[in-house]
Structure 1
């Protein structure tokens, strides 16, 4: 089977998070020369495929089979792949069944490798992501088979296949500050405690504030206010409280504790409550690590261009590999239509990605 044929088969599964719709069974049969372990946790299926060729390094490819709901307005059935003008249209073409197809086909076709090849495929990346890749890695750690290097086949390219490798991701911290006041008549402000007035005195040092100056691969960790609300939408009553919601996509230079301390500094003296939630931690893989250098070399050979190392974008399951101490990079197709109506991927992109992964496997030990 060729990689495009495999991709079309994967696209037919209505694998909306966390339902794999039978895709895991299909993949297990397709990868029949690999040892398979299906790990199901709270309704989430995680497939671990392993094949040992030798005693060298353990290289893992990872991705998710689940997709977001298709939504309305498609030009064709989102779960019936359509070929048109060099593209394949269907939900999940870019995010990320193209990456899954490329890594599956490359590993299946590998005739030799000085070490162990494995794949982790989850059905819970587009959802909460807490019972997916994280649980698979926990299991592998428990049995002493944690991979030494990893590639997550997320759609990372910007304009052209291979032009960007993600070597890290920013973290994400959500916050809610509720400033308490005393409601009253607007005509008698001295009898009220107006939380809006109190907040206005400090917001200039909070809204849009850079928690750090950024670094070579990370933009500054900026406080971005996403919502402010309070009051009863009338002109003659001051509010009882004011709620400010914000998000920080933080680099490795700013921690959860840094954010907490800054909030306490800014709102000191006010009657307020602070809630912070860290949904993901930032990570950065050394650009000179074996996995980064090998993947860069493979892209240069196959694509004829030098990829940019980047940390842009949201979160991905690569963060879980980093949390387990596994050097990880991300590489995939162009991501201009992820989660969109009429999502599509270029046929040539998928074929090129397959060749990149195959080259990486063949030459993994050529760069130290």
Structure 2
């Protein structure tokens, strides 16, 4: 069997796996991994609205003890949107690139890793692939459920490489060794509906919520926490009840997100917003969902291991970054040191998402280099 990473990527793209559907991707992975000696465990967790989600844990154990190295990734993708020149789930392969939803984020990396497994001599230790169908969505029944399974089976990795698209201008220029935390909040300010001509008989919630929004927007949470950038709070929605132009609404709503470094916790930020709401918009209800806390990998072994593999294959010394959004590293770091390394991220989540064929093949070589170093 010969595994071409571009062909594997194309076959994964052809599965319309919009969160939380795996759409056949996990079946493909199982077909590719079993001949390579992996035991594949599919399992489904959760119910609507955040599930069900299908996940895959694939494990190959050698006879001799040694390190447990895990590769983590997700087969789910964001909705393709409008404006594509071709069907986003019918991959187009040109002389230089592959185009389709998930090419960069992150089916290209999964294809590269599976292809990298060929020819790897593993006479010690454990190698596993942790693949979820719910990274782009609520992430309730995906990697969290995988972690539960790993703990139940006493199958905890010593290190984990996540194939998120970490590179910026060129493959190999950046690895991620941490991420900021994220918390979403929904605010609801009560009022009393009434006629705009008789405001004394109503209670308009909009000015109160506007004052609160002004205070939230003016917040300076911190000035950074090297190697993390400053935390930022962003208002993402303000609205009130639908109605005629002659009605003072009975309630007003807002939504916000905070991306935060290690100066804060999600719980403390929710409390801060609740305190400001009590002052500037009394009665406002605050609901929150903490997507993950900030984390930083300090284990230099895995950082150097991946950096050295990148350098050997590309000649670049990757910059270490904690920027960008969230990833499943927010959960996996509880188990072991985590590093993220993958394709350039310029087109992820965009119409016309694409990856260079040379990058996918070079990423395969880097992943194979990492595996050889782990199991040397």
Q: Establish whether TM, by shorter chain, passes 0.5.
A: yes
* 1:16 paired residue among 7, 18, 28: 18
Matching residue of 1:34: 37
Q: 1:332 to 1:245 in 2, by over 3 A?
A: same
Q: Which moved more, 1:56-65 or 1:224-233?
A: 224-233
Matching residue of 2:58: 49
Matching residue of 1:294: 305
Distance across 1 between alignment mates of 2:289 and 2:242: 31
Matching residue of 2:77: 67
Q: Which moved more, 1:219-228 or 1:35-44?
A: 35-44
Contact between 1:38 and 1:45, CA under 8 Å: does it hold in 2? no
Matching residue of 2:125: 115
Distance across 2 between alignment mates of 1:234 and 1:72: 32
How far did residue 259 of structure 1 move? Answer: 1.7
TM-score (norm 2): 0.87
Contact between 1:174 and 1:277, CA under 8 Å: does it hold in 2? yes
Distance across 1 between alignment mates of 2:28 and 2:245: 62
Q: 1:72 to 1:284 in 2, by over 3 A?
A: same
Three-state SS of the structure 1 residue aligned to 2:284 is: strand
After superposition, residues 1-368 of structure 1 pair within 5 angstroms as 1=2, 2-31=4-33, 32-42=35-45, 43-53=52-62, 54-112=64-122, 114-184=124-194, 192-230=202-240, 238-269=248-279, 270-322=281-333, 324-364=334-374
How far did residue 332 of structure 1 move? Answer: 0.6
Distance across 1 between alignment mates of 2:373 and 2:251: 61
Cα deviation code 1:117-144 (max 9, x no counterpart): 1111222223332222221221111111
Q: Which moved more, 1:264-273 or 1:353-362?
A: 264-273
Give ranges in structure 1 of 5+ residues lacking alignment.
Answer: none
Distance across 1 between alignment mates of 2:245 and 2:265: 40
Q: How many residues align?
A: 365
Three-state SS of the structure 2 residue aligned to 1:315 is: coil
Q: Which moved more, 1:247-256 or 1:16-25?
A: 16-25
Q: 1:85 to 1:208 in 2, by over 3 A?
A: farther
How far did residue 185 of structure 1 move? Answer: 5.4
TM-score (norm 1): 0.89
Matching residue of 2:49: none
Cα deviation code 1:139-183 (max 9, x no counterpart): 111111111110110111111101111112222212223333344
Distance across 2 between alignment mates of 1:74 and 1:193: 47
